[in-house]
Amino acid sequence: MESAGSSKWSNWLFSRDPRQRLRIKRSLLAANVFGACALTAIYAGWMGFMAFDDVRMLCAVMAINCTLWYALLRSGLNKGFADPALTLPQILAALTIIVGAYAVTGPFHGSTMMLLVLVLVFGVFNLSPKGARIAATYTVGLLGCVQLIKMETDPVNYPFKLEIVHFLLTAASVPTISSLASQLSSLRVRLQSQKDELAQALTRIQILATRDELTGLVNRRHMMDVLLQHRKRLQRSGYHRFCLAILDLDHFKRVNDTHGHGVGDEVLRRFATVAQQALRDTDVLARWGGEEFLVLLNDTTTEQAEVGLERVREMLADARLCSELPELRATFSAGLTAYHWGEPLDVCIERADRALYEAKAAGRNRTVVHQGPPPTQRPHVEASEAPLPNGSADGGSLVAAALLDQADNRDDEDMPAP
């Protein structure tokens, strides 16, 4: 309970957004500089070196500054800026307050100089080179103006000889920090660029490893991984079903021989596009090799899968396969089969391949379905535990399909061998 309560308060104080939390925490961490400045002012007032009215005014300004930045970050309004962390505005505001403290702390004013450097250090890792130069120029210029005014109005506490030393130290240290911030910013940009290049290279490698370069479809190697995942899903659930179909473009060699390989490549690309548009989003189309394609038709029966292949055939008949040859058309032959629980994948693929050759032998431009032998063992799955997926056939149709399989097997047994 304490952990949950602590997490609730943490989310309320710092936001649930991880980036916003980091920005708010950094802003509050920088508030420690104001805490040190406030303690210095209070001690100076207690020792009589500074008027308590000035102490109260300085502490109030610092408190208002911290509150305003926290409110801006916590509200999310900072997200509309180019730099959501608002690093440069926060640093300029802090530098202004610290230089103001330098002007009112009297004999203690030298102790506030180290706070100027500390404020700039907070921006080393976030400031851009341009922002670092702006902060350094602003610091040196503002401090120089304040020193000139104080040497004129309060020469006792701000003697010329001492202020020259302070100014020279500031003019030497602040640009050094600015230069370091610029170098770190350039290094950060280079590292980010290298990171982006590595991410792009990894993406390209993944594409080359899983996609066919010509058609953009899943390649053969990755398709086998997809099939293995579906096979494992079937083994776990006992009711997941899918069909496989091998498609072969009819007389594709004639296209290459007559019109050239460039036209053949365009036909393959267009066929891949048309087939993907005709198939469902859950189906997977892969280039199997040459002009052959393998389709995984997910969560369906062979009857439903055949309807999907006919839809591909109809869209292909109206598709323009080559811009230079608008009259060019193509057809395909297909071998379709359902995967049965417990059988190796290569057995199912070989069965689809045999059906494909039968489609070619029967005149091409058609689909031949091979149901295949029923599995020797099936897991027992209760209807209440494993409901059929949406769009699946009901129990009656599954029984009818099993009876048809048995009838086909008996017909095959009665048929004389060729």
d(CA 205, CA 407): 50
Which strand (E) or helix (H) includes residue 359?
A: helix 345-361
Nearest to 392 by CA among 298, 276, 310: 298
310 included as an active-site residue: no
Q: What is the DSSP string of 37-86?
A: HHHHHHHHHHTTSS-HHHHHHHHHHHHHHHHHHHHHHHHTGGGGSSSTT-
Which strand (E) or helix (H) includes residue 141?
A: helix 129-153
Beta-carbon count within 10 A of 20 CB: 19
Nearest to 120 by CA among 84, 92, 83: 92
Q: Are 36 and 115 in contact (CB under 8 A)?
A: yes
Q: At 186, list the tokens.
A: 């350039």
From the list 152, 291, 324, 382, the catalytic residue is: 291
Q: Are 244 and 348 in contact (CB under 8 A)?
A: yes
Active site residues: 291
